[in-house]
Amino acid sequence: MVSKLKNFYKVVRGFLILTILMNVAISAFYLISNQNPELENIIREDLSFRLQLVFVATITLVATYLPSYLDSRTRIRLPEILEITVIVFVIAAGYLSQRFNLFVRFHWWDDLLHFTSGTFIAVAGFLLIYMLNHRYSFDLNPWLIAIFTFSFSVAIAVFWEIAEFAADALWRTNYQKWDVPADTPLLGKSYQGYGLRDTMADLIIASTGAFIVSVFAYFAADRKKEETIKRISKLIKKRKKNKRE
């Protein structure tokens, strides 16, 4: 499975690098050969779009190295199926969504991504705290594990919304749906504005996914702790019995 994972990363990184080089080449061509005033506005818009793709693809490329970085620095190894799923999700949420304008084409696409991301990131947070707890024998309370799982996912969601706001402010992208058709379904009231309503809807949906995972994390950690206590008590009783004998 390790070789398959390496091949998967080779294909993904090769695709992203090719995408970056292609869009950089097209952008450079626009800058060098832009001599037609009639096409200036069209070229400017496409150039902005190409640069956005380069930025998103670069961030996605960096994200593909995070699992190996965590493994080498902290010796925390995510399950391979989760690792592949997260990388595919990052590509779909970042590059593919921007490239094919999926946020506007499908009004439910953004909600699906935020719910899925809230779930995936919560699972990653649970695995992180669970492995640390097991490796260093912190003996954390299941409530603390559940709270960390939820908080970890929500914190990432907040930083994501900050990044969306920054991108919209700098490059006039439409991540926060400030420029969508009037009939686009969004949570909240119309006077709250599309941007605020979209941001709060994203945070609520991501928090819902994180909360569901945190509930499972609590019961999983609680059950594991009970099994550990039973094993320790049996071991203590066995040692006492051996001493008496």
Give helix 2-33 / helix 40-63 axis angle, nearest 10°.
160
Quick one: 208 and 115 in the same domain? yes
DSSP letters spanning 49-102:
HHHHHHHHHHHHHHHTTHHHHHHHHH-----HHHHHHHHHHHHIIIIIHHHTTH
Quick one: 108 and 85 in the same domain? no
Q: Which of 71, 90, 109 is the last residue of a domain?
A: 90
- Residue at 159: amino acid letter: F
Report pLDDT for 151: 96
Report pLDDT for 36: 64
What's the CA angle centered on 215, arms 73 and 157, to 5 degrees?
Answer: 55
Quick one: 168 and 110 in the same domain? yes
pTM: 0.75
Report pLDDT for 37: 65
Report pLDDT for 21: 95
Tens of pLDDT along the chain (245 residues) come to 466 788 889 999 999 999 999 999 988 888 787 666 666 777 778 888 888 889 889 988 998 888 877 777 766 667 777 788 888 888 888 788 878 888 778 878 888 989 999 998 998 888 888 877 777 766 788 899 999 999 999 999 999 899 889 888 887 777 787 777 767 776 677 777 788 888 999 999 999 999 999 999 888 887 765 565 455 445 445 555 555 65
Report pLDDT for 232: 43
CB neighbour class for 116 (10 Å; exposed up to 12, middle 13-18, buried from 19): middle
Quick one: 124 and 191 in the same domain? yes
- Residue at 136: amino acid letter: Y
Q: Which of 49, 66, 90 is the last residue of a domain?
A: 90
Domain boundaries, position 134: 101-245
> Is 60 within 8 Å of 53 (Cβ atoms)?
no
Number of structural domains, the chain?
2
Q: Cα 71 from chain centroid?
A: 18
Quick one: 244 and 149 in the same domain? yes
Quick one: 2 and 40 in the same domain? yes
- Residue at 239: amino acid letter: R
Tell me, yes or no, whether 96 lies in a domain: no
- Nearest to residue 83, comparing CAs of 70, 74, 93, 94? 70
Report pLDDT for 236: 46
Tell me, yes or no, whether 204 lies in a domain: yes
Q: Which of 55, 90, 125 is the last residue of a domain?
A: 90
> Is 208 within 8 Å of 118 (Cβ atoms)?
yes
Quick one: 77 and 111 in the same domain? no
Tell me, yes or no, whether 12 lies in a domain: yes
CB neighbour class for 30 (10 Å; exposed up to 12, middle 13-18, buried from 19): middle
